[in-house]
Amino acid sequence: MNGRASMKPVHRSTGVCRFAATLRMCALLVGSAISLIAPTPALSQFGIPGIIKSWHAMQRANDAAHFLEQATFGPSFAQDPSDPNYPVSVAHVQALGYESWLNEQFGMPVLYPNDPGVPSVGTNYVSPKDPGTCPNGGICWSPTNLDSTTCGNICSRDNYTAYPLQVQFYTNALKGADQLRQRVAWALTQIFVVSQVDIHLSSWMTRYLQLFDRNAFGNFRQLLYDITLNPAMGQYLNMAGNVKTNVNENYAREVLQLFSIGLNKLNPDGTLRLDAQGSPLPTYGQDEITNFARVFTGWNLAAQLAPGIPNYRDPMVVTSETRHDTDPKTLLDGAGLPGAQNAATELNEALDNIFNHPNVGPFIGTQLIQHLVTSNPSPGYVASVTSAFNTGTYTSGSGISFGSGNRGDMRAVIAATLLDPEARTSPTSAAHGHLREPVLFITNTLRALGITRDAVNYTTDFVLGESFLPTNMVMGQDVFRSPTVFNYYPPDNQMSCATPPNCPLAPEFALQSTATALARINFIYNIVYHRMPTSQPNRPMGTWIDTTPFEAKAAGDANALIDDLNGRLMHGAMTDAVRSIVRDAVTAIPDSDRAGLTARVREAMYLIATASQYQVER
Amino acid sequence: MSIAASRRQFLVHAGCGALSGAAFLTGLGRFGLIQALAQSSAPTDYKALVCVFLFGGNDANNVVIPYTSYADYDRVRGGSGIAISQADLLLINPPSTGGLTFGFHPSFRDGFVSGTAMSPSLNDLWAQQKMAAVCNVGPLIRPLTRADYRAGLARPYQLFSHADQQNLWQTSYASLPRQTGWGGLVADRTEGISGTGQFPVIASISGVTIFSTGQSARPLVLAPAPTALNATLRLLKTDDRDALLRALTADGDAAMPALIQGAAQITSQALAASNLLTDDPLVRTFPNTSLGNQLKQVAKLISKAPQLGLTRQIFFTSLGGFDTHTNQGNIAGQQANLLRQVSQAVGTFYNAMVDLGVSNKVTTFTASDFSRTFVPGGGGTGTDHAWGAHQFVIGDAVRGGDFYGTYPDLTLAGGVDTDSGSGARGRWIPTTSVDQYAATLADWYGLAISDRALVFPNLAQFSPAVLPFMRAPALAIASTSS
């Protein structure tokens, strides 16, 4: 079912309009129950006839913000077209409409289009320079010191920890304009996992990350090929150096279980296919794994870049055809490879076999939906995304088409995910939505509340990777350092609920414990109250929110402040119950001086950003 | 994802009727357990179970090695990069093997020394009969012969897959994945003997796990040392908690969407627990390693049990890195380092329990995804995923110094090998089920016989239901020397 993406105002699940079946009924309810609606100062300025028109305008803005919550690391509220964040602002989305905005993002350049390490493609992560020398040995590359090949006493940190990549990640997420690409790339790194826990060098990890920049809007088959031959992946899952006399099954198992088809056969709508007894049907068994493992033999890292410097940069190559298994092999669904073929030929045949399996669309599509929109998509939603994957095209309700028509087209899949009515309209299911994973919680909050003093001075050093934050803020998601190839959380994690075993899927809840729940609150406290400790040299400034722009709205009944924060953080969806709790707490603070206004702003931000209804993006 | 809708048919309704009255409550009160579950008689003694989960699949074939029949081991692993030589084995003579000699991996010799305090190693604990080895344990739906397996009968769900085997070990149900673990279910069913305290019985020092999740018991997750115990769940903003709590109550309301409710309830639980962790108890020095720091935190929580009003506790700790497809090492290297860490941390923890006078009341046990292929892979430097593994149980209440279960026949493509033919890798079909292993621990802990079927649905398939590796209570004397 194709999307009915449009800019028509839709109801949010708050206030009286939750119960309205049609827009017209909602307007009548609005008209007759004005006193029940949380008023905004803007509305009261217009007087009664204007309320309806402005209410719709507010709804359109809220819908645009909600769209941006799914498509970026958080909406910008810039109004001025010359603001660097304007391309990903609520105003710009409203001006363009969703489809045109998607197309604009598909064509948005990367941050470093002329990076010599990735010619003609560019990247969001600066390519490592030729290796220099650390004072105490080891290769040296510092992206914070782009012109130098020596790094001094931060060499270890910048070469052997995730620090430089985490700083780049958060800088890009908080400032970059190609937000959709970054958001999709971040989701893809959680499916095609390589972790710096095991691949220690940031130079290796950079080349791995770069392939998501160029494939996020490309084709899935190309992504599968690129990741298979990526040297970091080759080391992580042992395909590098895999030989026919001592076959290693690690990559064969995970490429099937995690990167493409999963364990059980799926219908196009994501539901399990069942046998006559009602049991699931496995997609493969040990034999298929053994056969794929034999296909993936004979490959290794390409030639050393310099004496002692393994090639982390170029795709793996066939270093020995004699170590490639040339026996016949049977792959998925009985597909036979005849044998007596070279490694590269068999690799492509095997990847084709995987790519063309009917599970790929629903398996990957469901996870993309989970990362961007909701943990519990309906079968119809999944079916639509699968169809976009299978046909390579998606046509929106307004007749705008995305995708080349080739199976695996990522643009079609992304458009199908973001333009589906289930993503664009008020949720009807109690299980809709997803807990903001720590990275999204951090970036959404900072983008909503602001990280700049002015165009030049930021209130953050972008050091937000959790291993470089105080331990009382550790939320369980250390960027690019997943504990295992199974990502920080599994896609089929269920949350605890009152009616086990029928509990909603909630992947991100695998990170939500008593410890991390309080860590989130502590994070908000530290940034809102400017309490994050600094630490030289790694965290020179910390991160905080400048409350000045909000203080004028905090006076009096503070409704302007609460409305503003509601729009920025919750796309207008705050419940009356929480609004009233926040208002009581804020107005209990005297507003007679600047200190009081600051305290009010902080109290409001603290309570709203720690609210469970903000933790869950819905 | 609609997979859940269909999977619901297959997830176990483990006694849901009996517990459906246990409505999920928010806020205080042992995370929602209600008095309806309380049993009438209430023993006042204390017991604790401590799980040490070895993530990735520990190669048990290199941990318990035949000495008398070393040729069986050498025939397959000799000459490879992972081979342990006969001369390096720590010799043991388990009485139940009728005179055979075996050997532990040399890392089991390593105890932790801190100043003048020396903690026993795992080999020491074996010699003192405080450690038992349970051989060839793994998830089973029912006892399985090799012929059964080759014919495709009764195979546990998704063998050889990390995430799924971790689930089967933690839920002790091999038919299908469950969302509740046996630790959590045991905590649920022993509510009546767990004391009167408001603090949760079950805690993980290693993140959220299925093991700790019950139907009403919710996992408490704490950070390991060096975070002080009273800092593990500390809210920085100390003033004005009222509004925060009111917002949590509002969002925890049953009318709110499910995920919002869930987030609110976990946060409420955290705040309630943080009120009870008021100090950072002193315990002996532990090794400053991942497992050492986790077990140190466990020791602190055990020391607080009387203050918290708890007479039962269950803990989950873990160590990762066992998935050695390559570079496993032999007497040195990846696995050796990890086993050393286990030996030192568990030995120190044992001594810490002696310090508290509860070494006969606290039982530590290992678990792991699976063992690994007897035939090496990865150019002879590593091993791939297998199945039945040897596990270890430690404490004064353990009938230690012996094997339980059956040490596997190490014949490739025969015996208990899942594989056949010239490419057989040696993946042992378990001869003891996880259910029996776990039920034995649960039985010692105090799970009523009538509750076994609820926690371990397949247990009735196996005989005996409970293995003899725990001492009867009167015979479990606490150590007084360290």
- The 3 state secondary structure assigned to B281-327 is CCCCCCCCCHHHHHHHHHHHHHHCHHHHCECEEEEEEEECCCCCCCC
User: Which chain A residues have a beta carbon less than 8 Å from that of B227?
Assistant: 471
Identify the sign of the CA torsion B323, B324, B325, B326.
Answer: positive
Inspect the interface and report whether the beta carbons of B263 and A472 lie closer than 8 Å.
Answer: no
Model confidence band, residue B163 (pLDDT cutoffs 50, 70, 90): confident
Buried b (16+ CB within 10 A) or exposed e, A481-517: bbebbbbbbebbbbbbbbebbbbbbbbbbbbbbbbbb
Query: Is the per-residue pLDDT at A48 higher than 70?
Result: no
Q: CB of B416 within 8 A of CB of A282? A: no
The alpha-carbon gap from B377 to the nearest alpha carbon of chain A, in Å, equals 5
Q: Would you tell me how many other CB atoms lie within 10 Å of the CB of residue A41?
A: 12
What is the average pLDDT across A463-471?
93
DSSP A205-235: HHHHHHHHHHHTTSBHHHHHHHHHT-HHHHH
Specify whether the CB–CB gap between A468 and A538 falls below 8 A.
Answer: yes
Query: In this predicted model, what pLDDT tens digit does every residue of B297-345 receive, in sequence order?
Result: 999 999 999 999 999 999 999 999 999 999 999 999 999 999 999 999 9
pLDDT of amino acid A2: 34
For A180, A373, A400, the CA distances from A104, given in Å and listed in that order, are 10, 20, 13
Closest CA to B7 of A107, A595, A271, A307: A271
The pLDDT value recorded for residue A57 is 86
- Give kind and range of the element (H or E) at residue A344: helix A343-355
Rounded to 5 degrees, what are φ and ψ at A452? -120, 145
Q: How far apart are CA A176 and CA A163, in angstroms?
A: 19
pLDDT the model gives residue A203:
87
Answer yes or no: do B5 and A512 touch at CB < 8 A.
Answer: no
Report CB contact under 8 Å: B384, A431: no
| Phi, psi angles (nearest 5°) of residue B319 | -140, 135
**Considering CB atoms only, which of B4, B13, B263 is closest to A494?**
B4
The mean pLDDT of A19-30, rounded to a whole number, is 41
Residue A36 has pLDDT above 50, yes or no: no
- Asked if pLDDT for residue B280 goes beyond 50, the answer is yes
Q: Please count the residue pairs, one from chain A and one from chain B, whose beta carbons lie less than 8 angstroms apart.
A: 252
Does B223 contact A253 at a Cβ distance shorter than 8 Å?
no
* Interface mutation vs chain B, best among A375, A612, A613, most B CBs within 10 Å: A612
Closest partner CB to A506 (pick from B180, B221, B262)? B262
Cβ-contact A288, A331 below 8 angstroms: yes
pLDDT at B475 (0 to 100): 63
Neighbours of A229 (CB within 10 A): 19
Q: Over the stretch B89-145, which tens digit does the pLDDT of each residue have?
A: 999 999 999 999 999 999 999 999 999 989 999 999 999 999 999 999 999 999 999
Q: Would you say residue B50 has pLDDT above 70? A: yes
Q: Which ipTM did the prediction report?
A: 0.89
Is residue A530 within 8 angstroms of chain B, CB to CB? Answer: no
Q: Which of B1, B207, B270 lies closest to A505 in CB terms?
A: B1
Contact (CB<8Å) A517/B243: no
Question: Given B207, B251, B376, which is nearest A613 (Cβ)?
Answer: B251
Beta-carbon separation of B243 and A582 below 8 A: yes
Q: Confirm if A178 and A110 have CB atoms less than 8 A apart.
A: yes
Beta-carbon separation of A610 and B247 below 8 A: yes
What are the chain B neighbours of A431 within 8 Å (beta carbons)?
257-259
How does residue A122 score in pLDDT terms, banded at 50, 70 and 90? very high
Distance from CA of A381 to the nearest CA of B (A): 9
Residue A290 contacts B where some CB pair is shorter than 8 Å: yes
- Chain B residues in contact with A253 by the CB 8 A cut-off are 160-161, 385
Q: Does the beta carbon of A470 lie under 8 angstroms from any beta carbon of chain B?
A: no
* d(C-alpha A412, C-alpha A204), whole Å: 31
State the smallest CA–CA distance between residue A111 and chain B in angstroms: 34
Query: Contact at 8 Å (CB) between A409 and A392?
Result: yes
- Given B6, B11, B158, which is nearest A271 (Cβ)? B6
Most B CBs within 10 A among A242, A250, A513, A520, hence the mutation to make, goes to A513
Please give, rounded to a whole number of angstroms, the shortest distance from the CA of B403 to a CA of chain A. 31
- The predicted-structure confidence for B63-91, as pLDDT tens digits, reads as follows 999 999 999 999 999 999 999 999 999 99
Distance from CA of A615 to the nearest CA of B (A): 7
Q: Is the preceding peptide bond at A41 cis, omega within 30 degrees of 0? A: no
Spatial neighbors of A131 by CB under 8 A, at least 6 apart, are A139, A140, A141, A149, A203, A305, A306, A309
Identify the weakest region by mean pLDDT among A89-93, A170-174, B237-241: B237-241
The dihedral sign for the CA sequence B228, A170, A118, A403: positive
Q: Is B102 left (phi over 0), alpha (psi -120 to 50) or beta?
A: beta
C-beta of residue A557 within 8 angstroms of C-beta of residue A583: yes
Question: Cα-Cα-Cα-Cα dihedral of B408, B413, B417, B423, to 10°?
Answer: 130
Arithmetic mean of pLDDT, B283-304: 97
Mean pLDDT over the full length of chain B? 89
Question: Is B223 within 8 Å of A471 when comparing Cβ atoms?
Answer: yes
> Measured between beta carbons, which residues in chain A are less than 8 angstroms from residue B235?
518, 521-522, 525
- Residues paired with B114 in a beta bridge: B117
Kindly report the average pLDDT of chain A as a whole number: 88
Residue B278, token pair as written in the block: 């008021």
pLDDT at A255 over 80: yes
CA-closest candidate to residue A122, choices A108, A135, A132: A108
For residue A133, which phi and psi values (nearest 5 degrees)? -125, 130
pLDDT of B10 above 50: no
Q: Is 70 exceeded by the pLDDT of residue B37?
A: no
Shortest CA distance from B203: residue in chain A = A514
**Confidence class for position A286, pLDDT limits 50, 70, 90:** confident
Q: What is the pLDDT of residue A14?
A: 38
Give the chain A residue nearest B213 (alpha carbons). A496
CA distance A366 to chain B (A): 6
Following DSSP, what letter does each residue of B418-454 receive, concatenated?
S--STT----BPPSEEHHHHHHHHHHHHT--GGGHHH
Using DSSP's 3-state secondary structure scheme, residue B64 falls into strand
Residue of B335, B328, B407 whose CA lies nearest to B375: B328
SS3 (DSSP) at B52: strand
Q: Identify the closest residue of chain A to B4 by CA–CA distance.
A: A505
Mutate to test the interface with B, among A381, A514, A516, A576 (most CBs of B within 10 A): A514
Q: How far apart are the first and last CA of chain A?
A: 22
Q: Please tell me the distance in Å from B423's CA to the nearest CA on chain A.
A: 10
Query: Which conformational region is residue B420 in: left (phi greater than 0), alpha (psi within -120 to 50 degrees), or beta?
Result: beta
User: What is the pLDDT at residue A135?
Assistant: 53
Per-residue pLDDT at A147 exceeds 90: no
Q: Contact B162/A484, CB-based, under 8 Å?
A: yes
- Find out whether B73 and B65 touch, Cβ atoms under 8 Å: yes
Residues of B in contact with A472 (CB under 8 A): 231, 234, 236
pLDDT single digits (tens) B379-424:
899 999 999 999 999 999 999 999 999 999 999 999 999 999 998 9
pLDDT tens for residues A206-221? 999 999 999 999 999 9
Nearest to B3 among A238, A270, A610 (CB): A270
pLDDT of residue B15: 26
> How does DSSP classify residue A273?
P
pLDDT category of residue B158 using cuts at 50, 70 and 90: confident
B231 and A472 within 8 Å at the Cβ level: the answer is yes
Amino acid letter for position B469: F
Contact A74, A450 (CB under 8 A): no
| Cβ of residue A490 closer than 8 Å to a chain B Cβ | yes
Q: Which residue has the higher pLDDT, A311 or B178?
A: A311
Task: For residue A272, list chain B residues with Cβ-Cβ distance below 8 A.
Answer: 3, 6-7
Report how far residue B94's alpha carbon sits from residue B110's, in angstroms, rounded to the nearest whole number.
Answer: 20
Distance to chain A for B311, nearest Cα, Å: 22
pLDDT at B480: 66
Contacts of A382 in chain B (CB under 8 A): 1-2
Q: Do A246 and B234 touch (CB under 8 A)?
A: no
Contact A246 B218 (CB under 8 A): no
pLDDT at A149 exceeding the cut of 60: no
Q: Which residue has the tokens 């007749």?
A: A399
| Per-residue DSSP letter, A486 | T
Is the separation of the CB atoms in B173 and B457 below 8 Å? yes
pLDDT in tens, A58-73: 889 999 999 999 999 9
Listed range (A257-271, A367-381, B227-241, B363-377) with the worst mean pLDDT: B227-241
Q: How far is A56 from chain B (nearest CA, A)?
A: 25
Question: What is the distance in angstroms between the Cα of A110 and the nearest Cα belonging to chain B?
Answer: 32
User: Could you tell me which chain A residue has the CA closest to the CA of B246?
Assistant: A581
The pLDDT value given to residue B327: 93
